[in-house]
Amino acid sequence: MRCLTILWLLVLAGCATPAQRATDTEARAHERGIRQAVKEHYWQLQERQRQSSTPSP
């Protein structure tokens, strides 16, 4: 009976681990997406500033 209980706990622990891994992966992907959006916004602002600082012919 004890062996069966230990085996059952290992199965449950194994089922919980992939979900946590998926959550960690989603969190990293979200952070990368935010960083990319910030970079794109920065370069868009830089381009607008360049365009407004150059004299029009």
| Distance in angstroms (rounded) separating the CA atoms of residues 31 and 37 | 10
pLDDT at 5 over 70: yes
pTM (two decimals) = 0.55
Q: Of the ranges 6-15, 31-40, 45-54, which one carries the lowest mean pLDDT score?
A: 6-15
pLDDT at 54 over 70: yes
3-class DSSP string for 10-54: HHHHHHHHHHHHHHHHHHHHHHHHHHHHHHHHHHHHHHHHHHHHC
| Distance in angstroms (rounded) separating the CA atoms of residues 14 and 17 | 5
In the block, which residue shows the tokens 């969190």?
27
21-33 tens-digit pLDDT: 778 889 999 999 9
pLDDT at 35: 95
